[in-house]
């Protein structure tokens, strides 16, 4: 849980965040003002998440990435200038990110995710991994659970988008609308809507629950029919990354499609058609914007402790151009 730690907003901050304060209250904005966020992976999706988080007025954002800016980044990475090809993605993104909100402390970290010890992640209130392997997800999630740090994992492959949240035991306030009768006994019935604030608690399972989830089980057949095959496709794409140590590349389209088909035949036989892998290359800007907006909104909700968070998987399915939330696993 993020506490305000006695943080007070300056007159300039109160003026800048006036609209947000009216939306979710002064206490929630103070919590945001005290929040320290780590975003690992400054892809197009990472830039969308960073933009929204920085604009919300958190205390600090650290951009962690050891990779270089490539031509492929220009599909969706708007924080890194085109002239920065070959430069580190975190460092290239820093100047434009800082211009979004000079009041937020920004830092670029060019070291690898694997080089970071457990103590590093415990310095943050929220950790968000983008473009990570399954092993990295599991390791960092385990560290975050031990330190009560909120954990997010997110990705975009072409037209497919995904995010996972492990908030452990999360407390939040939610406004519930009730219809109250205000008329007197002899009068015509008259009702007014009254909003009351209710405190709630939700428990979230770890990332291991997503890894262990069997979407081939008969109990999940109805969800597959209703929402499509976004979750099995995500599993295949994550497995491709784990084995190839990269994502599908358009320059190797024919070769990579065959590898994806082979993985599909092992992981999701007779569930996912070949056509589903036609549009999984690079990060398509509109999808990065949608998923990035959703993830950033969830981080803001978690830090401000306002409204019900998504529990626990969000998927964007290009089959119908819709996103949906699925609960995967069993809360402990």
DSSP notation for 253-285 = HHHHHHHHHHHHHHHSTTTS-GGGGTT-SSB-H
Report phi then psi at 118, rounded to 5.
-60, -35
- 237 to each of 34, 141, 242, 246, 330, how far by Cα in Å? 36, 20, 9, 10, 24
- 306 to each of 8, 19, 129, 171, 221, how far by Cα in Å? 19, 16, 23, 9, 33
Q: Is residue 152 within 8 Å of 313, Cβ to Cβ?
A: no
Q: Report whether pLDDT(325) > 70.
A: yes
Scanning the structure block, which residue is given the tokens 């696993």? 329
Direct distance between the N- and C-terminal alpha carbons of the chain, in angstroms, rounded to an integer: 18
Q: Report whether pLDDT(228) > 80.
A: yes
pLDDT tens, residue by residue, 88-126: 999 999 999 999 999 999 999 999 999 999 999 999 999
Give the chain's radius of gyration (CA, Å). 21
Q: Report whether pLDDT(3) > 80.
A: no
**Which secondary-structure segment (H or E) carries 31?**
helix 26-33
Q: Report whether pLDDT(4) > 70.
A: no
* pLDDT band, residue 183 (cuts 50/70/90): confident
d(CA 310, CA 51): 20
d(CA 85, CA 70): 5
Mean pLDDT of 179-199: 80
Q: What does the block give as tokens for 3?
A: 């506490």
Q: What does the block give as tokens for 134?
A: 């399954």
pLDDT tens, residue by residue, 268-316: 998 999 999 999 998 999 999 999 999 999 999 999 998 999 999 999 9
Percentage of residues in the chain with pLDDT exceeding 70? 97
| pTM of structure | 0.91
Q: Is residue 272 within 8 Å of 235, Cβ to Cβ?
A: no
Q: Domains in the chain, please, with CATH?
A: 11-167+284-326 (3.40.50.720), 170-203 (no CATH), 215-277 (no CATH)
């Amino acid at each position: 849980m993020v506490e305000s730690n006695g943080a007070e907003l300056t007159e300039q901050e109160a003026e800048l965040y006036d609209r947000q304060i009216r939306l979710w209250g002064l206490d929630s904005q103070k919590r945001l003002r005290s929040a320290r966020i780590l975003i690992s992976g400054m892809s197009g999706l990472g830039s969308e998440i960073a933009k929204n988080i920085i604009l919300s007025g958190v205390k600090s954002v650290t951009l962690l990435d050891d990779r270089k800016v490539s031509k492929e980044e220009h599909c969706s990475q708007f924080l890194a200038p085109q002239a920065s090809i070959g430069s580190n993605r975190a460092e290239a993104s820093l100047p434009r990110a800082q211009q979004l909100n000079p009041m937020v402390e920004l830092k670029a970290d060019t070291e690898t995710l694997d080089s970071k010890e457990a103590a590093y992640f415990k310095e943050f209130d929220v950790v968000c991994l983008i473009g990570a392997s399954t092993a990295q997800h599991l390791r960092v999630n385990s560290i975050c659970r031990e330190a009560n740090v909120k954990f997010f994992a997110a990705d975009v492959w072409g037209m497919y988008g995904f995010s996972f949240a492990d908030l452990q035991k999360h407390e939040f306030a939610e406004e519930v609308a009730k219809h109250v009768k205000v008329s007197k006994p002899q009068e015509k019935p008259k009702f007014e809507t009254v909003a009351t604030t209710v405190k709630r608690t939700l428990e979230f399972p770890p990332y291991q629950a997503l890894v262990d989830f069997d979407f081939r089980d008969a109990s999940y057949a109805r969800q597959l029919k209703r929402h499509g095959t976004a979750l099995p496709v995500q599993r295949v794409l994550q497995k491709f990354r784990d084995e190839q140590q990269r994502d599908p590349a358009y320059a190797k389209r024919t070769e990579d499609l065959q590898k994806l088909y082979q993985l599909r035949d092992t992981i999701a036989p007779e569930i996912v058609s070949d056509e589903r892998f036609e549009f999984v290359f690079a990060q398509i800007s509109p999808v990065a914007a949608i998923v990035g907006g959703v993830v950033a909104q969830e981080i803001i909700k978690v830090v401000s402790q306002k409204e019900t968070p998504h529990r626990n998987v969000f998927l964007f399915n290009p089959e119908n151009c819709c996103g949906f939330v699925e609960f995967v696993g069993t809360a402990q």
